[in-house]
């Protein structure tokens, strides 16, 4: 068990889980407040909450999760933005399918969308940001 916990990839996955978990709480919290208490349309609320959590996630991912030893270049930041926009599109599409097509409550749909996009985020950031 100790050897497994010392594995670099396992440590990264655990750190990504912590960052992702707290980013989810930010995303879901803002989404809930906007959609349930302030009556903002669920897709608009999702775009806002997702965007705030992506900024938080980016900062912590670069500083703590992934091995980014050199200074971030503008090219890498643009790649991150592109990956995030794709993630936002996936999140919105999955949420729309859950809510409008399958008729799942938007709070449950948000959890489903976030879980799927979390996997996408880890894989794409590992490939394109950490290299």
Q: What is the DSSP letter of 36?
A: I
If one counts every other C-beta atom within 10 angstroms of the C-beta of residue 89, the result is 11
pLDDT tens column, 30-48? 999 999 999 999 999 999 9
pLDDT tens column, 51-103? 999 889 888 877 776 655 556 667 777 888 899 899 999 999 999 999 999 99
Of the candidates 56, 66, 68, 120, which has an alpha carbon nearest to the alpha carbon of residue 93? 120
Give the span between the Cα atoms of 57 and 65, in whole angstroms. 10
If one counts every other C-beta atom within 10 angstroms of the C-beta of residue 128, the result is 13
Backbone phi and psi for residue 103, each to the nearest 5 degrees, phi listed first: 65, 45
């Amino acid at each position: 068990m100790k050897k497994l916990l010392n594995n670099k990839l396992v440590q990264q996955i655990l750190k990504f889980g912590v960052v992702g978990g707290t980013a989810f709480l930010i995303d879901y919290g803002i989404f809930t407040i906007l959609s349930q208490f302030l009556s903002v349309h669920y897709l608009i609320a999702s775009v806002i909450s997702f965007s705030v959590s992506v900024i938080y996630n980016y900062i912590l991912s670069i500083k703590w999760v992934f091995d980014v030893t050199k200074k971030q270049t503008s090219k890498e930041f643009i790649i991150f933005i592109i990956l995030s926009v794709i993630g936002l599109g996936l999140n919105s599409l999955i949420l729309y399918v859950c809510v409008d097509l399958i008729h799942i409550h938007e709070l449950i749909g948000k959890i489903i969308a976030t879980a799927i996009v979390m996997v996408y985020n880890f894989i794409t950031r590992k490939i394109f940001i950490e290299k």
